[in-house]
Structure 1
């Protein structure tokens, strides 16, 4: 080692700096630095890029790891001058929150119905609408970039919505149910929303997932998969019965006097989820009346009309609202074998005064409220998980 003398002592720092065999951290090869930057979590990425000018330069061609789900908390109230932003919680930093830039005066008068990476699909609140004309828009909550969509007429807005967008070209696709009987879509290049005639037989659809150019549609009778990879209309490539794991709701319940209805109702959600490996899951989550504990049942599709119970997600974590799973093994900020979900009902934004958001460990059945410390003093009406997409 050229930095050690015959006596085995380290050379003085100034002498080592003059030694041609010594290398400064700021002079590391840019390709090596980029490999490191691409593996850093958000907080570490922000710290590393501020070390020196050369590291900051390399960071412009990199982006932090975006496999950790973040939480959006929307402010309570509809004052466009006070509530035109939202707060972001990063599970890697349990005591910090980030405030977005100004997201526009109509942000407080809209609510988020679905997300894709950092993009939100925003729908106007019913009390601010005229008749039944809906004007949705797509918003990047980190940059404020906005894509306006044409208006369309329907009674309840866009239900079961899915959103996909290409970060580079800004090609985008929005699909949802405009009525119980038919689906509509809009993509870049269209002048108006279009009904999708080939999506037949999905009446009453209540859960959709769009992944790898395939649309998964679930109602109480069938699961159907449509291929959107072609230039023409989507083609149905698979269908199967779900009668073995789903039953259509029925009956009625009586309201108990003196107790708010929202505290008596049995909350229930049924979602489609497509895993990293392409397995199709149906997730039933429900909370009996008066209970604070959510219960889960998970079924995996084996083949046509065949389903089996699932009790573990292994090294993956489920983002229930997004209908996907992500790898979570040995990653700080995300728990494997867990379900990330919220109890929000996106089509009835005023149904509850406050949305709760949870992480449920399927191994221990423990429920965590990861935002409790930092959010206790911030009034909010809605919250949801999303996967951020960090740009330069």
Structure 2
């Protein structure tokens, strides 16, 4: 079943915008630029600029985290073109690591050093990121990291910060908390799954620059299912509950959804610590963003549905092809958005904000 006809992607476009809170789809052609695709009308609404050499790393509403051709990070409202500059990548305040930016030929490269290793000749293509911007557009959190084996550090900054703060992802006494599998940023809370699939939650809301606190310190919980070979992501509900979302890489027609098993007496000794559920409680999950929102018929947000453009967004895994869909958990059906002749580098669902 499909949502739109392939010819719609090549049709005319309007200059209207989706209503606040309405699902939108941003397309990023390989030739550059980005285009707003209207999921209600089934056609491109507007081309939003060329952005040559830029990479769109993440989004929060209509704000996007962008890395330009000079390896500068900034935030931009793709509709108003309002722009917020960010500190340079090498401006990390840390006692254990440092980044050096250098020009090699016609390109910029980075050197990451810590107390145990050195990564040289790092390309900006390895940079991954997360973004949260509040409704007013005045408060924000940016998280970024180099997608390297082991994932030893991540970096973050907030509104008003003059540099990034690094967060070590290794523990001398708790190896099951090492590394990074995936992250979700929801407000000032950063949810991290480690290499061993333990969930950590970091609070980044402190007033002091560089403050963060692991609020799961001593009580992390593994999110493990029986399908270890499946593509998996985490997501956070409106109530703050962490979900495990899986899809079979050999059968791209259905998902499995799990929640934490509260009756597990000794999760550290178990290889299966979650319970499968068949409902989102009337909410909808935007997998690209990593969180659920209340369903709303007037805005076109379908209940118990998963909106996604990739079955997961891995940190350090083989890249999967785009598969822009809405999956209904209740009736186990999937609606696909055909790409037609468009050659896309990426696409992202987003929820239009107020700015």
TM-score by length of 1: 0.64
| Alignment partner, residue 113 of structure 1 | 57
Equivalent runs, 1:164-203 vs 2, <5 Å: 164-168=132-136, 170-178=138-146, 179=148, 180-197=151-168, 203=178
Distance in structure 2 (CA, Å) of the matches to 1:272 and 1:160: 17
Would you say 1:236 and 2:214 are equivalent positions? yes
Distance in structure 2 (CA, Å) of the matches to 1:383 and 1:169: 23
Would you say 1:143 and 2:80 are equivalent positions? yes
| Alignment partner, residue 57 of structure 1 | none
| Alignment partner, residue 38 of structure 1 | none
Cα RMSD, aligned residues only: 3.3
| Alignment partner, residue 107 of structure 2 | none
Over 3 Å counting, the alpha-carbon distance change for 1:140 and 1:359 in structure 2 is same
Q: Deviations over 1:301-342 (max 9, x none)?
A: 244745321111131111001011111153452221111111
Would you say 1:297 and 2:256 are equivalent positions? yes
Name the structure where strand makes up a greater proportion of residues: 2
Distance in structure 2 (CA, Å) of the matches to 1:176 and 1:362: 32
Name the structure where helix makes up a greater proportion of residues: 1
Distance in structure 2 (CA, Å) of the matches to 1:327 and 1:366: 20
| Alignment partner, residue 308 of structure 1 | 275
Distance in structure 1 (CA, Å) of the matches to 2:346 and 2:49: 18
Q: Does the 8 A contact of 2:18 with 2:24 survive in 1?
A: no
Over 3 Å counting, the alpha-carbon distance change for 1:151 and 1:226 in structure 2 is closer
Q: SS of 2:220's equivalent?
A: strand
1:351, CA displacement in angstroms? Answer: 5.7
Counterpart pick for 2:201 among 211, 225, 244: 225
| Alignment partner, residue 381 of structure 1 | 345
Distance in structure 1 (CA, Å) of the matches to 2:128 and 2:343: 27
1:223, CA displacement in angstroms? Answer: 0.5
Specify every segment of 5 or more residues in structure 1 that has no aligned partner in the other structure, as ranges.
1-45, 47-62, 78-82, 250-267
Distance in structure 2 (CA, Å) of the matches to 1:65 and 1:192: 35
Equivalent runs, 1:264-275 vs 2, <5 Å: 269-275=231-237
Distance in structure 2 (CA, Å) of the matches to 1:386 and 1:279: 21
Distance in structure 2 (CA, Å) of the matches to 1:183 and 1:204: 10
1:276, CA displacement in angstroms? Answer: 1.5
1:385, CA displacement in angstroms? Answer: 0.6
1:160, CA displacement in angstroms? Answer: 5.7
Equivalent runs, 1:30-69 vs 2, <5 Å: 65-69=19-23
Q: Deviations over 1:114-144 (max 9, x none)?
A: 11110111235xxx67xxxx42222211112
Specify every segment of 5 or more residues in structure 2 that has no aligned partner in the other structure, as ranges.
1-15, 91-109, 113-121, 268-272
Q: Does the 8 A contact of 1:69 with 1:388 survive in 2?
A: yes
| Alignment partner, residue 330 of structure 2 | 363
Would you say 1:281 and 2:246 are equivalent positions? no
Q: SS of 1:196's equivalent?
A: strand
| Alignment partner, residue 185 of structure 2 | 210
Distance in structure 2 (CA, Å) of the matches to 1:162 and 1:246: 29
Q: Which has the bigger relative contact order, CA under 8 A and spacing at least 6?
A: 2
Distance in structure 1 (CA, Å) of the matches to 2:180 and 2:75: 23
Over 3 Å counting, the alpha-carbon distance change for 1:387 and 1:346 in structure 2 is farther
TM-score by length of 2: 0.70
Q: SS of 1:109's equivalent?
A: coil
Q: Does the 8 A contact of 1:120 with 1:138 survive in 2?
A: yes
Distance in structure 2 (CA, Å) of the matches to 1:270 and 1:99: 33
Distance in structure 1 (CA, Å) of the matches to 2:157 and 2:214: 19
Distance in structure 2 (CA, Å) of the matches to 1:169 and 1:340: 24
Q: Does the 8 A contact of 1:160 with 1:208 survive in 2?
A: no
Would you say 1:335 and 2:302 are equivalent positions? yes
Q: Does the 8 A contact of 2:169 with 2:179 survive in 1?
A: no
